[in-house]
């Protein structure tokens, strides 16, 4: 699974490393500064401002460097329009997280291309490319710092007012102002511990503040209480407004709301469509849907 605020699996290690090394907030790195083995062009194609967030995967093939003969993404062709909401579903190991890693260019495809607004992402600078994305991970990372610092991490030069507005939009302000020190309340092991739903809303506030054209959302699997569930849903709705959104989805309620669902299996696109279409056309999707229905039964 994709793990960290502004970053992915291996990146979680980078984050804990940095936290260990430094202790507080200012040195929180940007996603764009995460080191990788990727080679950048000496003269990358400059991006002027933000992109529209149209994504296109063409004949994409990928194997992890450690297993060069095992293709985990295989001949993938997908076009995602600017502003479209797309859910990725498929069994464990289908390649959903890997796809996020490739979009962020943590790895180089074996063949094929990914383009953003028609530009091959390999021709862009890593920092400009990664500034096009906001990532909301399954497990939101909360740093040992104030609520304010935790949210401002979404855009380090944001003003106090911008942080506050992002928190209001993310339905986080309402619980933050109930804390004894409000936005100055210290979070983390030695401070206030947040509930799962509160952590998610902090992560959403960061992403709202970051204001990127493409949103990569790795939906949490653990169920929230009913109130949190509604608040998180409303917050996500605000966040997704006007952005291209890719969601690694685990819940039926989520997939029912998107424009298009892509069903992946063993690195290949095996079906795509809306929930109703896929219930008719895809055996694998029906399995997913039925499993979700079972796991979403309220506990008695
Ligand atoms: P899940 O729902 O379990 O998160 P997924 O669809 O996101 O699954 P991926 O995590 O993308 O699947 O994994 C696709 C395949 O790549 C799996 O076979 C996995 O074992 C393999 N894989 C993932 N990460 C690495 C890695 N760093 N090195 C080598 N193989 C990997």
Whether 74 is in the pocket of ligand 1, judged by its Cβ within 6 Å, is no
Nearest Cα to Cα of residue 136 among 290, 254, 260, 293 = 254
Residue 210 phi, psi (nearest 5): -65, -35
Whether 10 is in the pocket of ligand 1, judged by its Cβ within 6 Å, is no
The yes-or-no verdict on residue 109 having pLDDT over 70 is yes
Q: What is the mean pLDDT of residues 189-215?
A: 93
Cβ(155)–Cβ(161) below 8 Å: no
What is residue 206's three-state secondary structure? Answer: helix
Q: Ligand 1 centroid to 166 CA: how many Å? A: 33
Q: How does residue 141 score in pLDDT terms, banded at 50, 70 and 90?
A: confident
Pocket-testing residue among 2, 60, 62, 96, ligand 1, by greatest number of atoms within 8 A of Cβ: 96
pLDDT digits (tens, 9 = 90+) for 71-92: 999 999 999 999 999 999 999 9
Cβ(155)–Cβ(118) below 8 Å: no
Pocket-testing residue among 11, 36, 64, ligand 1, by greatest number of atoms within 8 A of Cβ: 64
Q: What is the mean pLDDT of residues 142-150?
A: 93
Q: How many angstroms separate the CA atoms of 176 and 217, rounded?
A: 23
Q: How does residue 298 score in pLDDT terms, banded at 50, 70 and 90?
A: low
The whole-model pTM stands at: 0.87
Whether 72 is in the pocket of ligand 1, judged by its Cβ within 6 Å, is yes
pLDDT digits (tens, 9 = 90+) for 264-280: 999 999 999 999 999 99
Q: How does residue 54 score in pLDDT terms, banded at 50, 70 and 90?
A: very high
Q: Torsion-angle region of residue 272: left (phi > 0), alpha (psi -120 to 50) or beta?
A: beta
What is residue 21's three-state secondary structure? Answer: helix
Please, how many CA atoms are within 13 Å of residue 22, restricted to the half-sphere of its CB? 15
Q: How many angstroms separate the CA atoms of 259 and 249, rounded?
A: 13
Q: Considering only CA atoms, which residue is closest to atom 23 of ligand 1?
A: 98
């Amino acid at each position: 699974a994709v793990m960290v605020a502004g970053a992915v699996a291996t990146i979680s290690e980078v984050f804990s490393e940095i936290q260990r090394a430094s202790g507080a907030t200012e040195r929180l790195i940007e996603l764009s500064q995460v080191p990788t083995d990727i080679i950048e062009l000496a003269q990358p194609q400059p991006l002027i401002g933000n992109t529209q967030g149209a994504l296109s995967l063409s004949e994409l093939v990928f194997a992890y460097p450690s297993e060069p003969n095992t293709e985990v993404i295989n001949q993938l062709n997908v076009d995602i329009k600017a502003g479209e909401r797309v859910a990725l579903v498929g069994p464990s190991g289908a390649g959903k997280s890997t796809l996020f890693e490739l979009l962020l260019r943590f790895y180089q495809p074996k063949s094929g291309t990914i383009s953003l607004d028609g530009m091959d992402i390999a021709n862009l600078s890593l920092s400009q490319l990664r500034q096009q994305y906001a990532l909301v991970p399954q497990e939101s990372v909360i740093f040992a710092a104030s609520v304010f610092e935790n949210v401002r991490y979404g855009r380090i030069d944001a003003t106090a007012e911008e942080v506050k507005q992002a928190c209001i939009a993310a339905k986080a302000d309402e619980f933050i102002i109930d804390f004894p020190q409000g936005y100055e309340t210290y979070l983390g092991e030695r401070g206030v511990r947040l509930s799962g739903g509160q952590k998610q809303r902090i992560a959403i506030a960061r992403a709202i503040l970051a204001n990127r054209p493409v949103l990569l959302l790795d939906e949490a699997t653990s169920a929230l209480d009913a109130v949190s569930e509604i608040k998180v849903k409303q917050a996500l709705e605000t966040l997704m407004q006007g952005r291209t959104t890719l969601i690694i989805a685990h819940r039926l309620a989520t997939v029912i709301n998107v424009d298009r669902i892509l069903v992946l299996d063993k690195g290949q696109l095996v079906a795509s469509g809306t929930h109703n279409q896929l219930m008719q056309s895809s055996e694998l999707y029906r399995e997913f849907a039925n499993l979700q229905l079972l796991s979403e039964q309220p506990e008695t």
